[in-house]
Amino acid sequence: MTQPLEARGRRLPFAFTALDPRIRRDVVYLEASDTAQTFGILYRPPDREPRTVVYLMHPRGEFTRHYVVPGLTARGYAVFGQNSRYLNNDTDMVHERILLDIAAGMRWLRGQGFERVVLLGNSGGGSLLAFYQSQASRPSAARLSSTPSGEPIDLASEQMPPGDLYIAVAAHLGEGRFMLNVLDPSVTNESDPASYDPRWDMYNPDTGYRPFPEPSSYDPAWLAEYRKQQRERSLRLDAIAREYLAEHAYFRGELRSDRYAALPAATRSLIARRARLGRYMVIYRTLANPAYLDPSIDPSRRPLGSIFSPGDPIIGNYGYGGLARVMTPRGWLSTWSGTSSQADLPETIAHVKIPTLIVFADGDCDIFPSEQREILEKSGAADKALVTLEWADHYLNPVGEEGRRLPDPRERLIDLIVPWIEERIGEP
């Protein structure tokens, strides 16, 4: 087993500007089975040909320069960071199609001679890679055949090499489950971003809100009903998405029908336009989780606030941009809907049987202890563990004075996961 970094008498640089120049980098261009194009970077240590590669992907994030690369390559591992077809743009993201991108990357890695692949799912990559593994490990006929919007997806004929180990680092429960906790349930009219029902407004002083940085305090009974109201809003958004899809399907059917040619010219024109119309959903106010401001809710070492908003989350809830702000109906249903998405980690993790390690950063503003316990409890692996990385935020930066007194959280992560990997599949 390789020595911990502390035993080597040095702190490992994690910035890519300090990456060992001898590390070999191969830029890899891949084509999925549906012809979508993706790319990745394979990092290999300078003095060996490892048999084990650590695989990384996020649904939309840039993971070719992930912070684990310096530490893992220094320990002798190869690391492959692959970007999905939806890099930096999830407006029309269909999670089921990303599985085809991962499959292309996994086939390429196996073709390069790597004997073992460690799936390292960080943040949104945790639910994504569990979704992949849950499908790859099933018999072909038992795999998904359609997306939540009803589009066919041919996973049955897809060659999907499975991973050998699964590690989740600061992983949420999936974009949909995350959205379910942050949807503002006080919205009463999806066409009016200022509409609200004060009873379900977490930014209303009457419900317990206090302006940041003072902590808020919400009544547990109110919070329980608030969560139900969030689910109701998600279902309403699902209904809007399905209405748009049904409307589109109807006019496409009319355009292709035998009677179309005999219709009046004006009617034909209307049908043709509506058949080609692509509707978007504009979804306002998606940063309203009371746990951001009430530290007594699912307590941890997190500071107040969210990584998605500077200071008070109310800024992100009402400001420009925001999570899932503009979505196609199929993108909403597949990715951000907590009531329709199939990339739900507590559901997919039940089918992930390979050894599983869950790493929880307990200073994370947006991911909570109960969620990590849920992942552990629902994991289908016989060999599974949940460990806490203390005083670390979502990006594994130190939290507070306590965090700064400890070794770098990213360094501690490497010291944690490398022995776990080696105990199960040997050295790289």
Asked if omega into 213 is within 30° of 0 (cis), the reply is yes
Task: For residue 254, give every residue at least 6 positions away whose Cβ sits within 8 Å of its Cβ, in sequence order, or none.
Answer: 260, 271, 275
Task: For residue 303, give every residue at least 6 positions away whose Cβ sits within 8 Å of its Cβ, in sequence order, or none.
Answer: 363, 365, 399, 400
Residue 269: band (very low, low, confident or very high) from pLDDT cuts 50, 70, 90: very high
Mean pLDDT, all residues of the chain? 95
What's the token pair of residue 137? 């490990």
Has residue 139 got a pLDDT over 50?
Answer: yes
Task: For residue 328, give every residue at least 6 positions away whose Cβ sits within 8 Å of its Cβ, in sequence order, or none.
Answer: 91, 92, 278, 279, 280, 281
What is the C-alpha to C-alpha distance for residues 410 and 359, in angstroms, rounded to an integer?
A: 12
Distance between first and last Cα of the chain: 10
Q: Can you give the pLDDT at residue 16? A: 76
Residue 265: band (very low, low, confident or very high) from pLDDT cuts 50, 70, 90: very high
Residue 14: band (very low, low, confident or very high) from pLDDT cuts 50, 70, 90: low
Q: Can you give the pLDDT at residue 7? A: 36
Cβ atoms of 144 and 135 closer than 8 Å: yes
Q: Can you give the pLDDT at residue 17? A: 74
Side chain identity at residue 374, one-letter code:
E
Ranking 17-21, 110-114, 383-387 by mean pLDDT, the lowest is: 17-21
Has residue 9 got a pLDDT over 70?
Answer: no
Cβ atoms of 99 and 133 closer than 8 Å: no
What residues are paired with 31 via a beta bridge? 37
What is the C-alpha to C-alpha distance for residues 86 and 61, in angstroms, rounded to an integer?
A: 9
Cβ atoms of 94 and 334 closer than 8 Å: yes
Has residue 5 got a pLDDT over 70?
Answer: no
| φ and ψ of 376, to 5 deg | -60, -45
Q: In what order do the strands lie in the sheet with 116-122?
A: 24-31, 37-44, 78-83, 52-56, 116-122, 165-169, 356-361, 384-389
Side chain identity at residue 71, one-letter code:
G
Q: Can you give the pLDDT at residue 1? A: 43
Has residue 27 got a pLDDT over 70?
Answer: yes
Region for residue 88 given its phi and psi (left: phi exceeds 0; alpha: psi -120 to 50; beta: otherwise):
left
* Average pLDDT over every residue of 154-177: 98
**pTM higher than 0.85 for the full model?**
yes
In this structure, how many other beta carbons lie within 10 angstroms of the beta carbon of residue 382? Answer: 9
pLDDT tens digits for 386-423? 999 999 999 999 999 999 999 999 999 999 999 999 99
What residues are paired with 124 via a beta bridge? none
Angle subtended by helix axes 95-111 and 124-136, to nearest 10: 70
What residues are paired with 282 via a beta bridge? 326
By C-alpha distance, which of 117, 110, 118, 65 is closest to 87? 65
By C-alpha distance, which of 338, 343, 3 is closest to 182? 338
Between these two residues, 13 and 184, which has the higher pLDDT value?
184
